[in-house]
Amino acid sequence: MRAIIYLSVLLLHACASVTPPSDTIPLNDVSQYRLQTVPATLQGTARLERLSIHTPTDKKELLIQIEMYTSHIEFVGLSSAGLVLFEMSWQANSGYQVSMKVPTDNLNPALLLAYFQLANWPPALIKKGLTGLTLIQEKEHSKRDFQHQGKSLFSVSETNNNRLFIHNEPPFSIVIETLKAWEIEG
Beta-bridged to residue 98, according to DSSP, are: 88
Helix (H, G, I), strand (E, B) or coil at 125: helix
pLDDT over 60 (residue 17): no
Mean pLDDT, the chain, integer: 86
pLDDT at 4: 39
pLDDT at 140: 67
Positive/negative CA dihedral, 153, 158, 159, 164: positive
pLDDT at 105: 77
pLDDT digits (tens, 9 = 90+) for 40-93: 999 999 999 999 999 999 999 999 999 999 999 999 999 999 999 999 999 988
Q: Would you kindly state where each structural domain of the chain is located, as residue ranges? A: 21-183
Position 5 confidence tier, pLDDT thresholds 50, 70, 90: very low
User: Domain 21-183 has what CATH class?
Assistant: mainly beta
Rounded to two decimals, the pTM is: 0.84
pLDDT at 186: 64
95, with CB counted inside 10 A (0-12, 13-18, 19+), is middle
Q: Rounded mean pLDDT of 91-120?
A: 90
Q: Rounded mean pLDDT of 134-146?
A: 84
Position 160 confidence tier, pLDDT thresholds 50, 70, 90: confident
pLDDT over 80 (residue 127): yes
Position 106 confidence tier, pLDDT thresholds 50, 70, 90: confident
pLDDT over 70 (residue 14): no
Beta-bridged to residue 67, according to DSSP, are: 46, 74
- Count Cβ neighbours within 10 Å for each residue of 77-94 and write b for 16 or more, e otherwise: bbeeeeeebbbbbbeeee
Q: Rounded mean pLDDT of 118-144?
A: 89
Rounded to an integer, what distance in angstroms lies between the CA atom of residue 127 and that of residue 16? 24
